[in-house]
Amino acid sequence: MQAQLAHQMALATTGTIVIGCAGAAAVAGVLALYFGALLAIVRSDLTGGMKLVWFVFALMAPFLGCLLWFLVGHRDARHRPGIA
């Protein structure tokens, strides 16, 4: 009985470690997306006004703003070079 309890406790600890590592990897991925998007916005060829709009949007809605930048804004910035 005690051996079975020890085995269950070991499995619970292993599961907690795996979930913790997966959570840390997800947070690291979101932070990489966030800072990568902010850096890409600053380095883009958009005019000052549009660059400011994208930057503020990425700051106010971190995940959605950054995701939309890479899906829509980044491509639009390459097609419409402005005054940097």
CA distance 80 to 20: 43
How many Å is the maximal CA-CA distance in the chain?
74
Structure letter (DSSP) for residue 61: S
Spell out the domain ranges in the chain: 1-78
Directed axis angle between helix 2-43 and helix 48-60, to 10°? 160
Mean pLDDT over residues 18-34, rounded? 89
Per-residue model confidence as pLDDT tens digits over 32-82: 999 999 999 999 888 888 899 999 999 999 889 888 888 888 776 666 555
20 pLDDT tier (thresholds 50, 70, 90): confident
Mean pLDDT of 11-37: 85
- pTM greater than 0.75: no
